[in-house]
Amino acid sequence: MSAAPKASRLIDRLPPVRGRLSEGYALAKVTWFQVGGVAEVMFRPEDEADLAAFLRDRPHDVPVTVLGVGSNVLVRDGGIDGVVVRLGRAFVGVTSDGVDVRAGAGALDANVAAVAARSGIAGLEFLSGVPGTIGGAVRMNAGAYGREIKDVLVSARCLNDRGQVHELDREALGLSYRQARLPRDWIVVAAHLRGEPGDAASIAARIDDVHRRREASQPVRTRTGGSTFKNPGGPDGSPKAWELIDRAGCRDLTIGGAHVSPMHCNFLENTGSASAADLEALGEEVRRRVFDSCGVMLQWEIERLGRRA
């Protein structure tokens, strides 16, 4: 009796690339929570052309997930099936011209704010308080301190699931509170932002103020993922998510190694021994208690990816 054929490895089905393909990549080491399983295959494209060719030629039953710097995601303990794409050095450039800033999707939001400041471009200071990359910021219309990406975005360059290029302006992206009208399998590769003329010293002072406010009010030096839940009242409305969480008695609530931050209770923290399951269970318990307390069902802002173990 012959042996059953060995299951094929995903990496063997993928097209050749100029970048790097890695099997079984541990995602806990590249996420801010420092939890989660492995990527079945990790792909770091050499450049946009390499990424486009991969998307065009890959078997189309293979799912693709984009992961930035892992600041606003919770990767579940079972890991992520298919290919996880991380945009490297070819996607981190930031240039300015007049009041326009062009940034690769892998550029850190804080670096974009810094380049704008040095160039005397005002209006992008809020990005220094937004964790993550410009690609993620466009995807979720990220914002802080009264401003959002939609306030400064001119257009975004995207690749669809077949690797074809699309230039989408702000209207086509349909940006609203913490979301964009963008297909999940499209990848943002660059963005064009526009500020206004300003004084470099004054802009730098405002960025310093954003940093001070953030340090004073958020647990920025812990294993966290940023704001956990969307504000029910939107970016400017009331109530804020943290107010409802506090009112429901969830400040300092703990499950396993997961903890609601006492500094800002819309932040979850990994105290060092948490699993992704602990963090997700804690988030769901917070949602349950808030609903029981005031009838509002909080919506996750952190994106949860992959399979439960």
Token pair of 61 as six digits: 């039953």
Given a contact cutoff of 8 angstroms between Cβ atoms, the answer to whether 121 and 196 are in contact is yes
| pLDDT value, residue 7 | 54
> Is 86 one of the annotated active-site residues of the chain?
no
* Dist. CA 278–CA 308, nearest whole Å: 11
118 and 199 share a domain?
Answer: yes
> Is 301 one of the annotated active-site residues of the chain?
yes
The overall pTM is greater than 0.85? yes
Beta bridge partners of 187: 159
Range of lowest pLDDT (174-178, 231-235, 268-272): 231-235
Inform me whether the pLDDT recorded for 2 exceeds 50. no
Which residues, other chains included, contact 265 with Cβ-Cβ below 8 Å and sequence gap of 6+? 242, 245, 246, 250, 251
- Single out the catalytic residue among 76, 102, 147, 178: 178
Please report which confidence band the pLDDT of residue 234 belongs to, taking 50, 70 and 90 as the band edges.
confident
Q: What is the pLDDT of residues 21-44, one digit of tens each?
A: 999 999 999 999 999 999 999 999
Closest to 151 in 3D by CA, of 127, 184, 182, 187: 127
> Is 243 one of the annotated active-site residues of the chain?
no
- Single out the catalytic residue among 227, 261, 275, 289: 227
Residue 294 CA from chain centroid, whole number: 29
Average pLDDT of every residue of the chain: 95
Which residues, other chains included, contact 100 with Cβ-Cβ below 8 Å and sequence gap of 6+? 154, 192, 193, 194
Q: What is the pLDDT of residues 59-97, one digit of tens each?
A: 999 999 999 999 999 999 999 999 999 999 999 999 999
| pLDDT value, residue 1 | 43
96 and 187 share a domain?
Answer: yes
Which residues, other chains included, contact 12 with Cβ-Cβ below 8 Å and sequence gap of 6+? none
121 and 195 share a domain?
Answer: yes
Domain boundary (30, 59, 89) is at 89
Please report which confidence band the pLDDT of residue 5 belongs to, taking 50, 70 and 90 as the band edges.
very low
3-state helix, strand, coil in the chain (%, to 5): 30, 25, 45
Q: What is the percent of the chain with per-residue pLDDT over 90, rounded to a whole number? A: 94
69 and 85 share a domain?
Answer: yes
Structural domain span for residue 268: 219-305
100-104 and 187-194 as β-strands: parallel, antiparallel, unpaired?
A: antiparallel
95 and 168 share a domain?
Answer: yes
Q: What is the pLDDT of residues 91-111, one digit of tens each?
A: 999 999 999 999 999 999 999
- CATH number for position 76: 3.30.43.10
Q: Tell me how many domains the chain contains.
A: 3
- Single out the catalytic residue among 48, 148, 280, 301: 301
